[in-house]
Amino acid sequence: MTCFYYNNCNHKDCEQDFCQKKFKLDFLYEKSLLSDHQRKRIELKLDSDKSDLEVFKFLSHIEQNIERFVNEGRNLFIHSPNCGNGKTSWSVRLMQAYFNQIWHKTPMQCRALFISVPRFLLAIKENITNKSEYLEKVIQSVRVADLVIWDDIAAKTGTEYEINNLLSLIDSRLSLGKSNIFTSNLNGAEISRALGDRLASRICNMSVDVPFVGADKRVFADFSSNQ
Ligand SMILES: Nc1ncnc2c1ncn2[C@@H]1O[C@H](COP(=O)(O)OP(=O)(O)OP(=O)(O)O)[C@@H](O)[C@H]1O
Ligand SMILES: [Mg+2]
């Protein structure tokens, strides 16, 4: 049976007892906290009116050069008021491309991390009464990972304490010159209103702005496989 990683090895080692590439990719994905579902490459299509053509071209260019993008500590802010139009999918695709470019030379350590911001804020709250395993994993890797995806920086705000925790982690990564991808349904002004100027200024002013305008492409099959 062939593995589900997209790659240019033509799955020639899938029938062998051991595949070095699969072993390394499994490790990198495990550390990244991406779900199994998110490890699979999905085809990302344009709407019939080609509304996001320019951002797709721009992101495809970054995908081809992702190792350089990460090494230079660059950041992206992918946002749209519309749900389900590929913000998370594109950020995951860039992480997949990064793993495909580095797997053969990476030491066994966390290289990229996917943080669901709502889940992270909830974990901070829960951790006060019950030790959160998710929070522990995030804290362990967030400063060392070369690339962090901060997914779904949302209107649903946290307490000052929770937001300050988020701010301090983002701030320390930016100070260290480490690469980040932020996704949100809010634009910069809305993030500023919802989460404060300090967070908004870090996210917006340090990142390339990538606005999506396309339509929702989420289908029921996606939703059920994410549960
Ligand atoms: N360009 C696209 N081509 C094909 N399918 C897509 C595209 N964009 C999104 N989808 C489908 O919609 C699903 C949801 O996409 P995704 O999670 O990337 O949306 P999102 O913009 O992050 O949404 P939200 O604003 O709710 O966080 C994907 O799993 C995928 O199946
Ligand atoms: Mg999303």
pLDDT digits over 30-61, tens only?
999 999 989 988 999 999 999 999 999 999 99
Supply the residue whose CA is at minimum distance from atom 2 of ligand 1: 44
Q: Rounded distance, CA 66 to CA 145, Å?
A: 15
Q: Which residue has the higher pLDDT, 32 or 19?
A: 32
Best mutation site among 37, 79, 88 for ligand 1, i.e. most ligand atoms within 8 A of its Cβ?
88
Q: What is the whole-number distance in angstroms between the Cα of residue 133 and the centre of ligand 1?
A: 27
- Domain segments of the chain as ranges: 20-39+52-225
Neighbouring CB atoms inside 10 A of 30's CB total: 11
pLDDT digits over 61-100, tens only?
999 999 999 999 999 999 999 999 999 999 999 999 999 9
SS3 of 184-210: ECCCHHHHHHHHCHHHHHHHHHCCEEE
The percent of residues in the chain predicted with pLDDT above 90, rounded, is: 77
Q: What is the whole-number distance in angstroms between the Cα of residue 46 and the centre of ligand 1?
A: 11
Q: Rounded distance, CA 133 to CA 196, Å?
A: 28
Q: What's 20-39+52-225's CATH class? A: alpha beta
pLDDT digits over 164-180, tens only?
999 999 999 999 999 99
Q: Rounded distance, CA 63 to CA 177, Å?
A: 20
Query: pTM (2 decimals)?
Result: 0.93
pLDDT-derived band at 210 (thresholds 50, 70, 90) equals: very high
Q: Rounded distance, CA 81 to CA 26, Å?
A: 34
